Amino acid sequence: MGHKVPMTIATALHQIQNRQLILPAIQREYVWKPSQVIRVFDSVMRGYPIGSFLSWKVLPETVNKFRFYGFMKDYSAFDNRHNPVIDIPADREVIAILDGQQRLTSLNIGLRGTYAYKNHGGWANKPWSYPERRLHVNLAEEAPENELGLKYHFQFLTKDDVERAANDPNKQWLPVPEIFEASDTSAFIQLLARHGVGNDPDASALASKLWEAVHKTASLHFYEEDDQDIERVLDIFVRVNSGGTVLSYSDLLLSIATAQWEGDARAAVHGLVDSLNQTGNGFNFTRDTILKSGLVMADVGDIGFKVRNFTTANMAKLEAGWDAMSSSLHVAVGLLSDFGLSGGSLTADSVLIPVAYYVHQRGLDHSYRESPKTRNDRETLRSWVLRSLIVRGVWGSGLDTLLRDLREVIKSQGDSSFPVVAIERAMSVRGKPLTVTDALIDDILSLKYGKARTFAVLAALFPHVDTRNQFHIDHVFPATLLDKRSLRREKCGDGTPRFTPEQIDELIDRRDRLPNLQLLPGLENIGKSAKAPDGWLAEEYSQPENHSAFLARNALPQSLPSSVTEFMSFYDDRSVILTERIHDLLTSHVPDPSTTDTTALVDLDEELAEGDDSD
């Protein structure tokens, strides 16, 4: 490994532009935030070193063994986050970056391209929430006081941002890409004149400092590896990528898969993740979960994200079964959506893995989600999924061991139905029983409105809820009647405050906890609005039998509160009812196998299929 002659930033970017400097497929993608880009440019302006770079000279005979990508130039968090694939002629030598991609990409974006990130409060799924921004430097003054210790005022701006600052004497924004485009002294002088700062010594000095840092100062130092042994290069890559924005295990797995698959592993994985996350109301699955699912479904012995597991043989298994695994994952995510879960309520993504393995093992397709013949099995699966999400810690520590155990149970006993009895037994052995404790009940009853785990718990507790339809979490006693201002206005007959400050705090705290929450169909919840529950129920369910059925369905006491003075009593009564229901739902149904009729147990689990979710 040798040290190359230092080069200027402009030289490096021209090599990127001409595809002489490229990225091997083992590289992760661009992950830096705008603030990190700005910090690099501040360091460049100040003459600070921005670290050395490690490159790999790839000879023509090695080029066809790897897939290569170009550097990102116009990044968009909405629809352009993936590096472009490039084809390298077989007779061409190239230089691939092993370490320093994030820094070089940041320089490329700042000096040649754009960065589109979401406006604060903008819609995540709307393109107009991600306006195109170019990096600018303020020639009027240095950076305002800041916690990052930045000296120079760089900022990503839209055209509108620049226009709005046109009359601000403290803002003279110069687009940084124009510095790169001014490749010689003459072009730079014309640039200053065009922006009207040619006769401003301070502004000219700032612009000159940046121009010289880009075009004149040989600040980029490269170490170059010329060995063509891919295993050696991969080892170097792993070692040097242990710092900075740390290379995750899934990044590494994807990198190695991309290098070893005949197809485009990166495109396959990214495409699958994006597609799965668009299911139903949307999910937030990561590459980690999807790749771990792949290792489990490929029956790789050790499913841990460890370098020694990323063998050619394991990658070949993953690639050979990828299409079938992708189909199984689509069915599994569809089932989770059917169970009422989404990115906002699924708090343990790993629950997907055993569901996907069960689907994969049985070769199930989307008809399983709708067929009357599979209804009982779906309800059993739904019950288990949601109950496993209620109990804290099931999908935490010891995950790989648990997943291997569940895989073995499903493989040996899941040919015709979901083996819930054997699965819960295996979980109990691992110290993860789906059983009730006083601490668990207290934990569940203390769940608050707005928390992801709350929806799943409510769905688990109330079997009448068809979670494929839109349900809202509703305050039984309206939250608007339990706000601090309203409670302070409550008076006794003699005009004194009805509640002390401590009582008000307790009322407000209980207002948002589980005993005051229920699931209502969206339109019904909107219609209920801020009506007191006793009046609303009498109005909506005037027939006695319908009235009683609603109370039973939602585990509500026979008497509902009509005013805040009755709220605490109602809260305590419903806590008792919910405690009984939690016991019924979570009490273990995994008896001694020697005296158990498995079919009967599965039927019992079906009766308890009420759904649930985790924190």
Lowest mean pLDDT among 61-75, 90-104, 224-238: 224-238
pLDDT for position 310 = 62
Is residue 335 within 8 A of residue 354, CB to CB? The reply is no
pLDDT for position 264 = 73
Q: Is the model's pLDDT at 193 over the cut of 50? A: yes
What type of residue is 407? R
Lowest mean pLDDT among 47-51, 434-438, 519-523: 519-523
Which residues partner with 75 through β-bridges? 115
Distance CA 119, CA 131 (A): 8
Task: Give whichever of 28-32, 72-76, 563-567 has the largest mean pLDDT.
Answer: 72-76
pLDDT band for 311, please (50, 70, 90 cuts): low
Q: Is the model's pLDDT at 28 over the cut of 70? A: yes
User: How large a percentage of the chain has pLDDT more than 90?
Assistant: 45
pLDDT band for 469, please (50, 70, 90 cuts): low
Mean pLDDT rounded to a whole number for the chain:
84
Give the chain's count of helices (H) and strands (E). 27, 14
Q: pLDDT tens, 413-430?
A: 999 999 999 999 999 999
Q: pLDDT tens, 197-211?
A: 989 999 999 999 999
Lowest mean pLDDT among 70-79, 87-96, 520-529, 584-593: 584-593
Q: pLDDT tens, 235-290?
A: 677 666 655 444 455 665 666 666 667 667 778 888 999 999 999 888 989 888 99
Place of tokens 């687009």: 175
Q: pLDDT tens, 358-405?
A: 999 999 999 999 999 999 999 999 889 988 888 888 998 889 999 999
Is residue 406 within 8 A of residue 357, CB to CB? The reply is yes
Q: Which residue has the higher pLDDT, 212 or 553?
A: 212
pLDDT band for 614, please (50, 70, 90 cuts): very low
pLDDT for position 254 = 65
pLDDT for position 110 = 97
- Grouping H, G, I as helix, E, B as strand and the rest as coil, residue 543 is coil
What's the average model confidence in pLDDT over 532-539?
82
Side by side, the strands of the sheet bearing 68-69 are 2-3, 222-225, 53-58, 94-99, 21-24, 68-69, 85-86
Distance CA 561, CA 558 (A): 10
Place of tokens 């012995």: 301
Distance CA 453, CA 440 (A): 13
Place of tokens 């501040």: 42
pTM: 0.57
pLDDT band for 546, please (50, 70, 90 cuts): confident
User: How large a percentage of the chain has pLDDT more than 70?
Assistant: 85
pLDDT for position 120 = 86
